[in-house]
């Protein structure tokens, strides 16, 4: 897979971490955002090799300033890509796009210059966890968060936000950190 194919598949907006060598084992913060109508955002603190990440904060998307503050701290941001459906109608599709645009605007204006923003399709990140759609998939996601991170959630949106951040850590940021350590420090 070439770089262009990888960008199309993962929805990478900024494909590199600004060329910055990221090789320290300090805790890294990953922000996961589920921007649906009743969405949520979750900030995880992770270290390479750790079994679990720490759930730093989980908020509903009714508070964009808080999401902006979380984006300003994050080393990586994963925001689920949204698509309108013909079943939504024009007004529903417009409202979805408007809501996603507001959150994306807040994130883009507050994120650090070297921070990457990835927007994977639901099938990509949910498929990585073996989760389906519908009510059953949402329940499985909430249970997975409890098992993986030892954190209970009130709503499936919160579980999705946490899993998006976890996916970003395991599939995007941790491999970069481990690779940098191996090439620079023989770690």
List the chain pLDDT tens, one digit each, 187 residues. 444 444 334 443 333 444 343 445 689 999 999 997 789 999 999 988 888 899 999 999 887 789 999 999 999 999 999 888 888 889 888 888 888 888 999 999 999 988 899 999 999 999 999 998 888 988 999 999 998 888 888 889 999 999 999 999 999 988 888 776 566 554 4
Q: Check if the beta carbon of residue 37 is closer than 8 Å to that of residue 83.
A: no
pTM of the model: 0.80
Helix, strand counts (H, E) of the chain: 7, 5
Domain residue spans in the chain? 3-177
Q: Which CATH superfamily is domain 3-177 in?
A: Ribonuclease H-like superfamily/Ribonuclease H (3.30.420.10)
């Amino acid at each position: 897979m070439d770089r262009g194919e990888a960008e199309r598949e993962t929805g990478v907006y900024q494909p590199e971490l600004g060329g910055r060598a990221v090789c320290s084992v300090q805790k890294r913060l990953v922000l996961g955002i589920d921007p649906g109508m009743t969405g949520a955002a979750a900030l995880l603190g992770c270290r390479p090799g750790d079994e679990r990440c720490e759930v730093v904060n989980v908020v509903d998307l009714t508070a964009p300033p808080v999401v902006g503050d979380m984006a300003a701290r994050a080393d990586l941001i994963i925001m689920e890509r949204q698509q309108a459906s013909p079943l939504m109608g024009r007004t529903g599709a417009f409202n979805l796009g408007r809501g996603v645009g507001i959150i994306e605007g807040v994130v883009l204006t507050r994120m650090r210059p070297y921070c990457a923003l990835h927007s994977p399709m639901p099938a990509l990140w949910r498929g990585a966890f073996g989760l389906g759609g519908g009510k059953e998939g949402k329940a499985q996601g909430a249970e997975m968060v409890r098992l993986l991170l030892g954190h209970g959630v009130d709503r499936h949106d919160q579980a999705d936000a946490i899993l998006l951040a976890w996916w970003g850590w395991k599939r995007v940021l941790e491999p970069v950190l481990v690779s940098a350590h191996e090439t620079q420090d023989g770690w």
